Amino acid sequence: MEDRKFTKEHEWVEKVDQIIIIGITEFAQDQLGDIVSIELPKVGSSFKQNEAMAIIDSVKASSDIYSPVDGEITETNEKLLEQPELINQSPNEEGWILKMKPNNPEQLDSLLSKEQYNNLVGQSKE
């Protein structure tokens, strides 16, 4: 299993064979506060890199989830529809949001490494 990659929009991306799994980071869920619902895209729909594909709602805020690469949705975490709080409780594991098949896996190389992402978060904490 390869190391996870990250985006500037606070998403983590994990590559497993031909598929990538996407979720939001610990930092992101903390910023959002208590999550009350999520709007998931339809399986089979396609998105370009940086296009908004899902929406997470907390009590007082609403945030887009952006596609890290060009690709097609293969699976979504339907559990989140009934239990959105899983994203707060376990953003890195049970709170995974969706799976995609990237059109051009090389796009993943342009994402942030764990170190680069931690720097980004460190900066915004100042």
Partner 1 sequence: MNYIPHTKEDISKMLSVVGCSTVDELVSEFKPRLSELNLNNPMSEMELVAYMTSLSEKNSQMKCFVGGGSYDHYIPSVINHLVSRGEFLTSYTPYQPEASQGILQVLYEFQSYICLLTGMDVSNASLYDGASALAEAALLSSAYTKRRGIFVDAGLNPEYLKVLQTYCDGTDLVISNTIDENTACVISQNPNFNGEIKNPTGLIEKTHLNNSLFINCISDPTSLAIIKPPGEFGADIVVGEGQSFGIPKSFGGPYLGFMAVKQFLTKKLPGRIVGITTDGKGNEGFVLTLQAREQFIRRERATSNITTNQTLLALTATIYLASLGKTGLQNVARASYHNAHLLQEKLRKKGIDIVNTNPFYNEFLVKTPKSTEKIIANLAEHNIFGGIDVGDNKLLVCCTEKNSLQDIDLYVKEASI
Partner 2 sequence: MKLIFEYNQANTKHTPEEKDVDVPKELKRENLLLPDVNEVQIIRHYTELSKKNYGIDTNLYPLGSCTMKYNPRVNEDIAKLAGFSNIHPLTPVNQAQGALEVIWELQEDLKKITGMDAFSLQPAAGSQSELLGIMIAKKYFAEKNENRTKIIIPDSAHGTNPATAAMCKFQTVTIPTDKRGNMDLDEFKKEIGSDVAVVMITNPNTLGLYEENLSEIKNLAKENGALMYCDGANMNAFLGISKPADQGFDMIHLNLHKTFSTPHGGGGPGGGSLGVKTFLEDYLPVPRIKKENNEFVFDCNQEKSVGKLHSFYGNFGILVRALAYVRSWGTDIQKISKMAVLNANYLFSLLKEDFDVPYDRRCAHEFVISAKNLGEKSTINIAKRITDYGFHAPTIYFPLIVKEALMIEPTETESKETLDAYANILKIIIKELKEEPELLKNAPHTTPGRLDEVKAARQLNLRWAPQE
Per CB under 8 A, residues contacting partner 1 are 36-37, 39, 42, 52, 55, 57-62, 64
Q: Looking at beta carbons only, is 30 or 64 nearer to partner 1? A: 64
φ, ψ of residue 39 in degrees (nearest 5): -105, 115
SS3 27: helix
User: What, of partner 1, partner 2, none, does residue 34 touch, CB below 5 to 8 Å by kind?
Assistant: partner 2
| Shortest reach from residue 36's CB to partner 2, in Å | 4
| Shortest reach from residue 126's CB to partner 1, in Å | 27
Q: Count how many Cα atoms sit within 13 Å of the Cα of residue 32 in the half-sphere of its side chain.
A: 27
Neighbouring residues of 91: CB distance < 8 A, sequence distance ≥ 6: 23, 24, 25, 26, 28, 29
Q: Give the total of residues touching partner 2 (CB under 8 A).
A: 8
